[in-house]
C-alpha cells in the first residue's frame, strides 16, 4: 500500500514547532528568568504609559463625538442624595417639629406624627445612597477604558474608535490571555512541585531559605500572569517575623500582590480540589496556618494557633485580611477583632488599585473564582500601589475593638479610602436586630428625656 505525504503537512508541523520554541524561549528569557531574580526590564511600565495615552485619546474622541451628537455619554453621574452634615436623631426630629405648625417645642407631646418623616426620610436615603451595599459593586469609572461596550447609553461614535476597541479585543483575547494562562499554569505548577520537593528536606536554615526563594519566584511569575504593575512604598516598614500583617481586602489576588514582595504565612480554611493540592504542598515547605471547616468557628482554637505561631520569632509573619470579605476598592469596612486580641505587633498595609486598567474587585455573589480570574487575565493590566505603614501595638487601656479601629483608620487614610464602621458580613447577611434596636433606644431616650425635663420645670 503506497502512502502519500503532503509536503504542506510537514511544513505546517515545522512551523508549529518553531512557533512553540520561540514562544517558550521568549517566556523564559523575558518573564520567567527575570521573575526568578526579581528584576524587571521596564516593559510593563512602558505598556502602562502607552495605555494611558490611548485612554486619553479615546476619552477625547468620545467627548467630541458626544458634543457633535448632542449626547451626554460617559458623563460621570451619581444618583446619590446630596451629603449633609451629620447630626443626631434628636436634633433632626426637633428640626422637623420646628418646621411644622407646632412652633412651641416645650409643649410638644410625647409623640408627634411629624416624627415619622424622619424615619421615612432615613429609609429613602438608605435605599438611594446605601453606603454599605454599594461597596459590593464595581467602582464607577469617569471615562471609558476600552474594556466593554455594555454601557446602556452607548451609541456609535466613530469608525476609528470602533476599530480601536476591536483591535484591543483581539490583543487581549488573542495574545494577552493565552500568554497569561501559560504563565499562571507555569507559576502554580512550579509552586506545587518545588514546595513538595523542599518539604522532603529536614527542618533548618537551608529549608527555610529555599522555601522563601521558591515562594517569591512563583508568586512573581503569577504577578506577571496578570501583567501586574505594583508600586511599593516605605519598604523599611515591611512586616517582620513574629508579627501580623493586616491589609484591606479587594481581591483574592491581594495575596499574590503582597507575597511577591515578601514571604508570609497564610491563614485560611482547608479546601478541596486544586486549591487543596496547592495548600498541602505549600505547608510542607512553610508553616502556614490552615484550619479544618469544623475548626474555623472555634475562636479560641484559632486564637491559640495564631498566638503560638507569632510567639516563634523564626516563623514568617502572618498575613490576615480582617474585613473577612472583598470590598470594591473605595473603602475599608469593619475589622474583625480576633487578630488584634493576640497581642502581637501589627504591620498595617494599604492596597489601592487603579481601576482604569481593570476592575480588581471580586464580586463573589456575581462571579465564580474561575470566571473572575479569566476577567482579570483578559483585562489590560492590574495596576496598584502598596503602602507599608509603621508597625502598631496595642496601647495601655485599649481593647481589641479600639485597636482594630485605629489600625483600620490608618490604612484608610494612607490608601485614600473611606473608613466605614459597618460589618462587611452584611454582604450576605441581614442587618442585625441590634442596629434597629439602637435607633429605637435613641428615640425612646429622647422622649423620656423630654418628659423628665418638663417634670423638673
SS3 track for the chain: CCCCCCHHHHHHHHHHHHHHHHHHHHHHHHHHHHHHHCCCCCHHHHHHHHHHHHHHHHHHHHHHHHHHCCCCCCCCCCCCCCCCCCCCHHHHHHHHHHHCCCCCHHHCCCCCCCHHHHHHHHHHHHHHCCCCHHHHCCCCCCCCCCCCCCCCCCCCCCHHHHHHHHHHHHHHHHHHHHHHHHHHHHHHHHHHHHHHHHCCCCCCHHHHHHHHHHHHHHHHHHHHHCCEEEEEECHHHCCCCCCEEEECCCCCCHHHHHHCCCCCEEEEECCCHHHHHHHHHHHHHCCCEEECCCCCCCHHHHHHHHHHHHHCCCCCCEEECCCCCCCCCCEECCCCCHHHCCCCCEEEEEEEECCCCCCCCCCCCCCCHHHHHHHHHCCCCEEEEEEECCCECCCCCCCHHHHHHHHHHHHHHHHCCEECCCCHHHHCCCCCHHHHHHHHHHHHHHHHHHHHHHHHC
CA angle 90, 95, 99 (to 5 degrees): 150
Cα distances (Å, whole numbers) of residue 253 to 84, 295, 384: 36, 25, 11
What was the pLDDT predicted at 287?
83
Give whichever of 10-24, 77-91, 126-140 has the largest mean pLDDT: 10-24
**Which is more confident, 271 or 182?**
182
| pLDDT at site 236 | 92
User: What pLDDT does 309 receive?
Assistant: 85
Residue 279 inside a domain? The answer is yes
pLDDT digits (tens, 9 = 90+) for 156-191: 567 777 788 888 888 888 888 988 898 888 889 989
The pLDDT, as a whole number, for residue 392 is 92
The percent of residues above 90 in pLDDT, for the chain, comes to 12
Please tell me the least confidently modeled range out of 42-51, 108-117, 323-332, 396-405.
Answer: 108-117
pLDDT of 336 reads: 86
Indicate whether 78 pLDDT > 50: no
b/e per residue, 86-124, with b = 16+ CB within 10 A? eeebeebbbebbeeeeeeeeeebeeeeebbebbeeeeee
> Average pLDDT for residues 244-265, to the nearest whole number?
90
273 within some domain: yes
Residue scoring higher pLDDT (371 or 7): 371
Indicate whether 261 belongs to any domain: yes
Residue 102 has pLDDT above 60, yes or no: no
* Domain harbouring 241, CATH code: 3.40.1130
402 within a domain of the structure (yes/no): yes
Question: Does residue 98 sit within a domain?
Answer: no
| pLDDT tens column, 80-99 | 333 445 556 666 666 666 66
pLDDT in tens, 192-251: 999 999 988 888 888 888 888 889 989 998 888 888 889 999 989 999 988 899 999 988
> pLDDT higher for 129 or 329?
329
Q: What is the pLDDT of residue 101?
A: 54
Could you tell me the residue range of the domain that residue 181 belongs to?
A: 159-427
Report the share of the chain in percent with pLDDT over 70: 67
Domain annotation covers residue 86:
no
Residue 108 has pLDDT above 50, yes or no: no
Residue 449 covered by a domain:
no
Higher-pLDDT residue of 232 and 427 is: 232
Asked whether residue 411 carries a pLDDT value surpassing 90, the answer given is yes
- The pLDDT score that the predictor gives to residue 449 is 60
Residue 320 lies in a domain: yes
Question: Which three cell numbers, joined as nine digits, stand for 309?
Answer: 505561631
Domain total for the chain? 1
Lowest mean pLDDT among 181-190, 357-366, 388-397: 357-366
- Is pLDDT at 74 greater than 50 in this prediction? no
Amino acid at each position: 500500500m503506497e502512502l502519500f505525504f503532503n509536503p504542506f503537512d510537514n511544513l505546517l508541523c515545522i512551523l508549529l514547532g518553531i512557533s512553540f520554541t520561540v514562544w517558550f524561549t521568549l517566556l523564559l528569557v523575558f518573564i520567567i528568568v527575570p521573575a526568578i531574580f526579581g528584576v524587571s526590564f521596564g516593559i510593563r511600565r512602558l505598556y502602562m504609559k502607552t495605555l494611558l495615552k490611548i485612554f486619553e485619546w479615546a476619552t477625547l474622541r468620545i467627548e467630541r463625538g458626544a458634543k457633535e451628537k448632542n449626547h451626554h455619554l460617559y458623563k460621570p453621574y451619581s444618583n446619590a442624595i446630596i451629603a449633609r452634615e451629620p447630626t443626631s436623631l434628636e436634633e433632626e426630629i426637633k428640626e422637623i417639629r420646628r418646621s411644622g405648625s407646632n412652633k412651641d417645642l416645650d409643649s410638644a407631646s410625647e409623640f408627634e406624627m411629624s416624627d415619622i418623616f424622619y424615619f421615612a426620610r432615613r429609609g429613602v436615603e438608605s435605599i438611594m445612597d446605601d453606603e454599605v451595599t454599594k461597596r459590593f459593586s464595581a467602582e464607577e469609572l469617569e471615562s471609558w477604558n476600552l474594556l466593554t461596550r455594555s454601557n446602556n447609553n452607548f451609541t456609535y461614535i466613530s469608525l476609528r474608535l470602533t476599530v480601536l476597541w476591536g483591535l484591543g479585543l483581539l490583543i487581549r483575547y488573542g495574545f494577552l490571555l493565552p500568554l497569561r494562562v501559560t504563565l499562571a499554569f507555569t507559576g502554580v505548577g512550579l509552586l506545587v512541585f518545588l514546595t513538595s520537593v523542599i518539604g522532603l528536606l529536614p527542618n533548618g536554615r537551608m529549608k527555610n531559605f529555599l522555601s522563601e526563594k521558591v515562594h517569591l519566584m512563583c508568586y512573581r511569575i503569577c504577578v506577571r500572569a496578570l501583567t501586574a504593575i505594583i508600586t511599593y512604598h516605605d519598604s523599611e516598614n515591611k512586616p517582620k517575623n513574629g508579627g501580623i500583617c493586616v491589609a484591606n481586602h479587594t481581591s483574592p489576588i491581594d495575596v499574590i500582590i503582597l507575597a511577591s514582595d515578601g514571604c508570609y504565612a497564610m491563614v485560611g480554611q482547608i479546601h478541596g480540589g486544586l486549591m487543596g493540592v496547592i495548600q498541602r504542598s505549600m505547608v510542607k515547605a512553610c508553616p502556614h496556618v490552615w484550619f479544618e471547616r469544623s475548626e474555623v468557628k472555634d475562636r479560641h482554637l484559632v486564637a491559640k494557633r495564631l498566638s503560638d505561631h507569632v510567639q516563634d520569632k523564626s516563623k514568617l509573619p502572618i498575613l490576615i485580611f480582617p474585613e473577612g470579605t472583598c470590598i470594591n476598592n473605595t473603602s475599608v469596612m469593619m475589622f474583625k477583632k480576633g487578630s488584634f486580641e493576640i497581642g502581637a505587633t501589627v504591620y498595617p498595609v494599604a492596597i489601592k488599585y487603579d481601576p482604569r486598567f481593570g476592575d480588581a474587585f471580586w464580586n463573589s455573589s456575581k462571579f465564580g473564582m474561575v470566571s473572575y480570574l479569566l476577567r482579570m487575565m483578559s483585562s489590560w493590566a492590574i495596576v496598584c500601589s502598596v503602602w507599608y505603614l509603621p508597625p502598631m501595638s496595642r496601647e495601655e487601656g485599649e481593647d481589641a475593638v479600639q485597636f482594630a479601629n485605629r489600625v483600620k483608620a490608618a490604612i484608610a487614610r494612607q490608601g485614600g479610602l473611606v473608613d466605614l464602621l459597618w460589618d462587611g458580613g452584611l454582604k450576605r447577611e441581614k442587618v442585625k436586630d441590634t442596629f434597629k434596636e439602637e435607633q429605637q433606644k435613641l428615640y425612646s431616650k429622647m422622649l423620656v428625656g423630654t418628659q423628665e425635663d418638663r417634670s423638673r420645670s
